[in-house]
Amino acid sequence: MSNAAGTLEVAGGATESRRAAIRAAGTGFSVGRMLAVTRKELRSYFAFPLVYVLSGVFLVLAGYYAYTDLVFFVTIAFARDIIQNYWQLLFSDIRLCLLLTLPFITMRLFAEERKLGTIELLYTYPLRDGEILGGKYLASVAIFIMMLALTMLYPVYIYSIHSFPLFPLSAGYLGLLLLGCAFIACGVFISSLCESQVMAGMGTITLLLFFWILNWNEAAFTNSWLALLRAFSLFDQFGSFAKGVIDLDHVTYFVFFIVFFLFLTQRSMEARKWTGRR
């Protein structure tokens, strides 16, 4: 029997014992078990320097943009219309920082475990695939929220100098939150397919870039195709949040994007049972 088939048997055996264990622990999806996975993931995140370094790099970039955009706002835009000339610009720049850093947060989720061989151990726990996935996803989102919260220094600092309307800002942050969650969902999926962390990180960036540049070359498409591609572009959907507008269809787009990639990840996790992949 091939090596792959051997793995298949191990995984299959593990599935049987897991199923029995889950039955013993109680039926249905358990939030408690999912949160246990989240805690375990967070512990492992904070036990290594990677998350601190990535957050630091993210803040260096975001802080630099916050400063340069502020200079633009004061000098070129004559310090008028802070929403259009500062926050809109800054949010657009921060999304680039997220594109460059979040894939490195998600790349380790499955790929690292697969490389270290701990994935089989994880699959033998009395956990459903949904609970494992939910736990890992929530842990990444928690790290991302921490990173995003650190950027709130900029509005707090500017507000201490001069007050400005806060509601449009909250729309921008909601947009960043949804965008980041979408990036993470995409990253989790790619990580579930890869054995190499580098491949997972690069693959995620590539896929997200694809969603970004989807409609860049307007000349190549008719108007109806362009409208369709715009509807699929992650980055175009973010634009209204940055302006201070929450569009229900943009919110649902992000939610559906996240749900779709988590759905694909779960299918990918299930596929190990019939592909022989770990």
Question: What is the C-alpha to C-alpha distance for residues 165 and 161, in angstroms, rounded to an integer?
Answer: 13
Q: Is 149 in the site for another protein (CB under 8 A)?
A: no
Q: Is 72 in the site for another protein (CB under 8 A)?
A: no
Report the residue number, 197 or 265, with the smaller CB distance to another protein.
Answer: 265
Q: Is 19 in the site for another protein (CB under 8 A)?
A: yes
Report whether 140 contacts 110 (CB < 8 A). no
Which parts of 106-135 interact with another protein (CB under 8 A)?
A: 129
Q: Which of 20, 21, 53, 145 binds another protein (CB under 8 A)?
A: 53
Report the residue number, 31 or 81, with the smaller CB distance to another protein.
Answer: 81
Which parts of 151-180 interact with another protein (CB under 8 A)?
A: 151, 153-154, 157-158, 161-165, 167-168, 170-171
Q: What is the dihedral of CA 22, 24, 28, 32, to 10 degrees?
A: -80
Q: Is 24 in the site for another protein (CB under 8 A)?
A: no
Which parts of 198-237 interact with another protein (CB under 8 A)?
A: 218-219, 222-223, 226, 231
Q: Is 193 in the site for another protein (CB under 8 A)?
A: no
Report the residue number, 84 or 196, with the smaller CB distance to another protein.
Answer: 84
Reduced to 3 states, what is the DSSP secondary structure of residue 128? Answer: coil
Q: Is 28 in the site for another protein (CB under 8 A)?
A: no
Full DSSP string of 40-85: HHHHHHHHSSHHHHHHHHHHHHHHHHHHHHHHIIIIISTT--HIII
Q: Which amino acid is at 59?
A: L
Report whether 157 contacts 76 (CB < 8 A). no
Q: Is 7 in the site for another protein (CB under 8 A)?
A: no
Q: Which token pair is 231?
A: 């509807």
Q: What is the dihedral of CA 194, 195, 199, 201, to 10 degrees?
A: 80
Question: What is the C-alpha to C-alpha distance for residues 230 and 212, in angstroms, rounded to an integer?
Answer: 10
Q: Which token pair is 111?
A: 């790929």
Q: Is 20 in the site for another protein (CB under 8 A)?
A: no
Question: What is the C-alpha to C-alpha distance for residues 119 and 55, in angstroms, rounded to an integer?
Answer: 26
Q: Which of 35, 122, 195, 239 binds another protein (CB under 8 A)?
A: 239
Which parts of 245-264 interact with another protein (CB under 8 A)?
A: 245-249, 252-253, 256, 259-260, 263-264
Report the residue number, 23 or 39, with the smaller CB distance to another protein.
Answer: 23
Report the residue number, 96 or 231, with the smaller CB distance to another protein.
Answer: 231
Report the residue number, 138 or 169, with the smaller CB distance to another protein.
Answer: 169
Q: Which of 6, 9, 43, 198 binds another protein (CB under 8 A)?
A: 9
For another protein (CB under 8 A), the number of binding residues is: 79
Report the residue number, 117 or 223, with the smaller CB distance to another protein.
Answer: 223
Helix spans in 72-196 (H):
82, 88-106, 108-116, 118-124, 129-150, 153-161, 167-193
